[in-house]
């Protein structure tokens, strides 16, 4: 009996030591049919770009958050900046991540949205991110992506005009106007300069039409490829966000 207890104890210890404390996430498989259909619709370069993004997400899927932020910022900052009037023949068009990646270009809103989408696909919680409307030292209205794990944690800025992910308090060159989130929250910011920022007001259940329209187009983009992926969604379970 004592031997049995000892053996059971050893086995329990062995399995405990061999079992990871946090199981790694597994990204859904994108079938070759998906890339083949992208090739047919948008050409060879577009298919190659989407394949590269797919591999990028798999490689960095289980990295620590800080590394994910840096990797996504670096990757998406390689996108070519193109004005909406040149690319989409519209004065202010918010492109979907699919549109931005297949054309390999966009303006600040498009690049910020692409960063957000890839980070959500890699497991970053949606409510940890927001889009900030800021004014630069050149008096240019600009959009950046903000990440903040909680109110007690520092906020980090992902900016297509800056190669480094920096804490918000380090970005004294930006005057914040407002931040909006996918869940409809808008934070009106009081910015006194020198990175002295406070939330002046919070608005709930706001509906930004450009954001909603971009989300609908993004959903349509993704769903159109399900038939070429053996009927399986391209989106991980953890990234399926309710409106």
Whether 77 maps to a domain, the answer reads yes
| Cα–Cα distance, 41 to 186 (Å, whole number) | 37
| Cα–Cα distance, 160 to 145 (Å, whole number) | 9
Single out the residue of 109, 124, 129, 106 nearest to residue 49, CA to CA. Answer: 106
- Cβ contact 234:226 at 8 Å: yes
Q: Which domain holds residue 67?
A: 28-225
Whether 177 maps to a domain, the answer reads yes
Place of tokens 């390999």: 104
Q: What is the CATH number of the domain that holds 47?
A: 3.10.620.30
| Cα–Cα distance, 166 to 156 (Å, whole number) | 5
The whole-number average pLDDT for the span 2-24 is 47
Tokens of 47: 């298919």
Whether 4 maps to a domain, the answer reads no
Whether 202 maps to a domain, the answer reads yes
Q: What per-residue confidence (pLDDT) applies to 5? A: 42
Q: What per-residue confidence (pLDDT) applies to 123? A: 96
Whether 21 maps to a domain, the answer reads no
Whether 98 maps to a domain, the answer reads yes
Single out the residue of 100, 133, 105 nearest to residue 117, CA to CA. Answer: 100
Examine the pLDDT at 1 and tell me if it is beyond 50.
Answer: no
Whether 113 maps to a domain, the answer reads yes
The whole-number average pLDDT for the span 172-193 is 96
Residue-wise pLDDT tens digits, 19-46: 444 578 999 999 999 999 999 999 999 9
Q: β-strand 166-167 against 141-147: which pairing, if any?
A: unpaired
Whether 121 maps to a domain, the answer reads yes
Single out the residue of 235, 221, 229 nearest to residue 33, CA to CA. Answer: 229
Count of domains forming the chain: 1
For residue 176, give Cα distances in angstroms to 131, 145, 155, 160.
11, 12, 13, 16
């Amino acid at each position: 009996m004592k031997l049995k207890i000892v053996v059971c104890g050893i086995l329990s210890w062995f399995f405990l030591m061999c079992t990871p404390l946090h199981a790694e996430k597994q990204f859904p498989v994108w079938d070759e049919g998906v890339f083949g259909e992208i090739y047919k619709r948008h050409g060879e370069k577009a298919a190659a770009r989407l394949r590269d993004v797919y591999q990028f997400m798999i490689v960095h899927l289980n990295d620590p958050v800080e590394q994910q932020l840096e990797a996504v910022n670096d990757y998406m900052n390689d996108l070519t900046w193109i004005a909406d009037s040149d690319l989409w023949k519209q004065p202010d068009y918010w492109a979907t991540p699919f549109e931005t990646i297949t054309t390999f270009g966009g303006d600040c809103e498009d690049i910020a949205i692409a960063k957000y989408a890839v980070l959500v696909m890699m497991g970053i919680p949606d409510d940890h991110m927001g889009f900030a409307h800021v004014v630069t030292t050149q008096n240019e209205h600009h959009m950046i992506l903000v990440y903040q794990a909680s109110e007690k944690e520092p906020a980090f800025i992902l900016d297509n005009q800056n190669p480094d992910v920096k804490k918000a308090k380090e970005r004294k060159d930006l005057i914040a106007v407002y931040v909006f989130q996918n869940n409809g929250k808008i934070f009106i910011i009081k910015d006194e300069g020198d990175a002295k920022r406070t939330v002046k007001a919070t608005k709930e259940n706001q509906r930004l039409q450009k954001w909603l329209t971009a989300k609908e187009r993004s959903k349509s983009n993704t769903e159109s490829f399900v038939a070429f992926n053996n009927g399986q969604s391209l989106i991980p379970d953890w990234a399926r966000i309710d409106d």
